[in-house]
Amino acid sequence: MTPGCYGGPTAFVLPPLPTMSPPKDVSQVLLSVGGLVGREIDLDAFLQTLVDRIAVTMQADRGTLWLLDPARGELFSRAAHLPEVSQIRVKLGQGAAGHVAKEGEPVSIQDPRGERLFFADIDRLTGYRTSSLLAAPLRDAEGSVYGVLQVLNRLGGGQFTDEDTERLAAIASQVSTALQSTSLYQELKRAKEQPQAPVGYFFNRIIGESAQLRTLYRLVQKAAPTDATVLLRGESGCGKELFARAIHVNGPRRDKPLVKVDCAALPATLIENELFGHEKGAFTGADHRVQGKFEVADGGTVFIDEIGELPLSVQGKLLRVLQDREFERVGGTQTVKVDVRIVAATNRDLSRMVAENRFREDLYYRIKVVELVLPPLRERGAEDIERLARHFVATAAKRHRLEPPRLSALALERLKSYRWPGNVRELENCIESAVVLCEGEILEEHLPLPTVDRPLPARGGAQAEPESPALLSLAEVERRHILRVLEAVKGNRTAAAKALEIGRNTLSRKLKEYGLSDEG
């Protein structure tokens, strides 16, 4: 969903707007929606619904929520009744909203004609005729103004009264308190502390505005309200767990548990017990019944991370859960019924594993009802890398109780040019290290990155390969790259693992998958 555009799919149902007299108690404005904001429900839909309710409460024709972008010295409309345009920006101090943001005081305009604080260009842009206007500041816990709440045109042709001004100020105070629990406010705060970069767009704690991510946001908004099983595919560190969380909190199970099982972190012998639990006496030391993750998550969502590592012996049991929502605990005979949604993730090529009889075909098709492919960081563009880097600078500084350092131009360019084989997770760890080690400014030498990125594929070779990687599977591209690196280092496995930035054991496993021995 593009910032400033409202009318896309929403992930929750709100009670209808009041059709009779507006509530006298301003707390009723947030009563039915206040609990949603802390769960990071689709913020655009939430904010638009909130503006709708405020307009009704204030008996106004239109409402606008403005937020401050310190980098540009502007206010931008984040939620508004603007059918004519997607977003409006005004300079700090410009017009009524700009004046409120700059001076921190409410403004009431009863007749725009000749009023110096009225910015007529907005009416000319939208074709809307403003006859009266009321605006109040949004202040954070420190008393700083970070936005403006504005309503236009009192219904019935009347004027906004002093009582209306007090009411809007009270509503603004409540709205501000609610917004400060969201990631949107955290980004506004980051932009204030680091005004080198404009405010970035947030979707359920996911930072990024690249075309690939925007497409994924739309798909999440479509899939989340259903109970469809979702498969997330992508390289390690690209944010699969955040997307799993977004699917859960935007769906009907948001009030129930989201339980994670990491198949890669568990020995194969323990995964079945972790998922399904066990009965008393099932094995030595099992002195009481233990519930598995599926029972713990009953009514909610189970996130199965690295499902490609799931042993074949357990895959059949998982298939039964997907088909019938039932299973038996380890060592038990009693059938347990559960109501769960399953979201799975993997960085493996499951279709290839199916062809090699290492993953059940029937399970594969069961888990990929909805398939979302997450792009690696290097394909998301330099702007997303900068947004993430600045966000991680702010969060790392806060975590370690440090003043947020500046990010030098050379360091930023280095971050943008690096290929990030570890994706967002690697970038976060890189920035945290730099924040801890620098002295007020992150320079290029503070970044724990290799002096030279991964070596380019060797030229020549015994056999030419087709120059059309777009037609190859991800696994095949990986295989060819590893073999080229091995050729470049004259078969030295240790050097190849170092160049590929993977462990020697990981390289050994991959070579065995390719049918090669690990000698030398």
Q: Which of 422, 446, 470 is the last residue of a domain?
A: 446
pLDDT in tens, the chain (520 residues): 333 332 233 333 333 333 334 444 555 555 444 554 544 445 666 788 888 889 999 999 999 999 998 877 888 888 887 766 667 888 998 889 999 999 999 999 988 887 888 888 888 877 888 899 999 999 998 999 999 999 999 998 888 999 999 999 999 998 888 888 777 787 787 777 766 666 666 677 788 888 899 889 889 988 999 999 999 999 999 999 999 998 998 888 988 999 999 998 888 888 999 999 999 888 888 888 899 999 999 999 999 999 999 999 899 999 999 999 999 999 999 999 999 999 999 999 999 999 999 999 999 999 999 999 999 999 999 989 988 998 899 889 888 999 889 899 899 999 999 999 999 999 999 999 999 999 999 999 999 998 655 443 333 333 334 444 445 667 667 777 887 787 677 678 888 888 888 888 788 877 766 655 444 4
Q: Give CA–CA dist 398/389, Å, rounded.
A: 14
Entry pTM: 0.64
For the domain that residue 510 is a member of, what is the CATH number?
A: 1.10.10.60
Does residue 77 sit in the same domain as residue 178? Answer: yes
Question: Encoding tokens for residue 171?
Answer: 């509503």
Q: What is the pLDDT of residue 85?
A: 64
Does residue 105 sit in the same domain as residue 147? Answer: yes
For the domain that residue 167 is a member of, what is the CATH number?
A: 3.30.450.40
Does residue 122 sit in the same domain as residue 56? Answer: yes
For residue 45, CA distances in Å to 180, 188, 440 come to 17, 19, 39
Classify residue 14: in a domain, yes or no. Answer: no
Does residue 218 sit in the same domain as residue 352? Answer: yes
For the domain that residue 439 is a member of, what is the CATH number?
A: 1.10.8.60
Classify residue 161: in a domain, yes or no. Answer: yes
Does residue 115 sit in the same domain as residue 214? Answer: no
Residue 461, domain extent: 454-520
Q: What is the pLDDT of residue 509?
A: 77
Q: Give CA–CA dist 247/231, Å, rounded.
A: 11
Does residue 80 sit in the same domain as residue 137? Answer: yes
Q: What is the pLDDT of residue 201?
A: 60
Does residue 40 sit in the same domain as residue 135? Answer: yes
405 sits in the region (left: phi over 0; alpha: psi -120 to 50; else beta) called: beta
Q: Give CA–CA dist 295/276, Å, rounded.
A: 7
Q: Give CA–CA dist 340/336, Å, rounded.
A: 12
Classify residue 8: in a domain, yes or no. Answer: no
Classify residue 3: in a domain, yes or no. Answer: no
For the domain that residue 307 is a member of, what is the CATH number?
A: 3.40.50.300
Does residue 34 sit in the same domain as residue 131? Answer: yes
Q: Structural domain tally of the chain? A: 4
* Neighbouring-strand partners of residue 419: none
Does residue 46 sit in the same domain as residue 119? Answer: yes
Question: Encoding tokens for residue 307?
Answer: 């499902």
Classify residue 119: in a domain, yes or no. Answer: yes
Classify residue 310: in a domain, yes or no. Answer: yes
Does residue 168 sit in the same domain as residue 222? Answer: no
* Neighbouring-strand partners of residue 260: 303
Q: Which of 396, 426, 446 is the last residue of a domain?
A: 446
Classify residue 251: in a domain, yes or no. Answer: yes
